[in-house]
Amino acid sequence: MRDTLVLNASFEPLSTVTLNRAVVLVLQDKAVVEQEHPGLRVRAAAVDMPVPRVIRLCRYVRVPFRRQAPWSRRGVLVRDQHRCAYCGKRATTVDHVVPRAQGGGDHWLNTVASCAEDNHRKADRTPEQAGMPLLHQPFVPTPQDAMLLALKAAERSELPDWLAGQAA
Ligand SMILES: [Zn+2]
């Protein structure tokens, strides 16, 4: 089965997603089917709908990074959903896994979201040297990651601040 193309509310193509993900977005009223595979239907438990070839998001989402995904501090925080890579609490800073003092650079695979406390505690040491293992490995975000993260961020922005802080 081919992947489903996702359009922004503005009809601008964003990314492809798996069929499962496309069906979930439609069932959650986050997207509408623009084009279907003729004659094919998704049938499961309480679901019976055409197999979407193209879906379009109901609301415009601002995607934080594009195909080339240039590195940025903001992009790292969005990629890691503002969760500290060392303790899982809310992160507001970006930490260099291999510190700049040891030659580590500004790129996706060497940077993680971090709370200010852990960033300060780790200082100019690697996670091994500091005895602070990473909860997850940094990765280079794909256009699909970028779109799904933008959808999540759009949901959070509809929540009251105190709750949005929890969800982040
Ligand atoms: Zn932390």
User: Does the pLDDT at position 89 exceed 70?
Assistant: yes
Determine the average pLDDT of the residues in 160-165.
Answer: 42
What element of type H or E holds 32?
A: strand 31-44
138 to each of 14, 85, 86, 113, how far by Cα in Å?
A: 23, 9, 12, 9
The string over 36-72, giving b where at least 16 C-beta atoms fall within 10 Å of a residue's C-beta and e elsewhere, is beeeeebeeeeeeeebbbbbbbeeebebbbeeebebb
Over residues 118-158, the pLDDT tens digits come to 999 999 999 999 999 999 999 988 777 777 777 777 666 65
Q: What pLDDT, on the 0 to 100 scale, is given for residue 147?
A: 77
How far apart CA 90 and CA 163 sit, in angstroms, is 13
Which phi and psi (to 5°) does residue 127 adopt?
A: -55, -40
Tell how far the Cα of 165 is from the centroid of ligand 1, in angstroms. Answer: 15
Helix/strand/coil for 108: helix
Question: What pTM was computed for the model?
Answer: 0.63
Comparing CA positions, the residue from 91, 82, 95 lying closest to residue 130 is 95
Q: Which residues pair with 90 in a beta bridge?
A: 83
Domains of the chain: 1-60 (no CATH), 62-168 (1.10.30)
**Better-scored residue on pLDDT, 158 or 2:** 2
Over residues 23-79, the pLDDT tens digits come to 989 998 999 999 998 888 888 777 888 889 899 998 888 776 555 667 889 889 888
Q: What pLDDT, on the 0 to 100 scale, is given for residue 162?
A: 43
Tell how far the Cα of 92 is from the centroid of ligand 1, in angstroms. Answer: 10
Tell how far the Cα of 99 is from the centroid of ligand 1, in angstroms. Answer: 16
Confidence class for position 166, pLDDT limits 50, 70, 90: very low
How far apart CA 108 and CA 68 sit, in angstroms, is 12
Tell how far the Cα of 93 is from the centroid of ligand 1, in angstroms. Answer: 10
Q: What pLDDT, on the 0 to 100 scale, is given for residue 164?
A: 39
Determine the average pLDDT of the residues in 89-102.
Answer: 96
41 to each of 20, 45, 49, how far by Cα in Å?
A: 13, 13, 5
Tell how far the Cα of 122 is from the centroid of ligand 1, in angstroms. Answer: 10
How far apart CA 3 and CA 21 sit, in angstroms, is 9
User: Does the pLDDT at position 102 exceed 90?
Assistant: yes
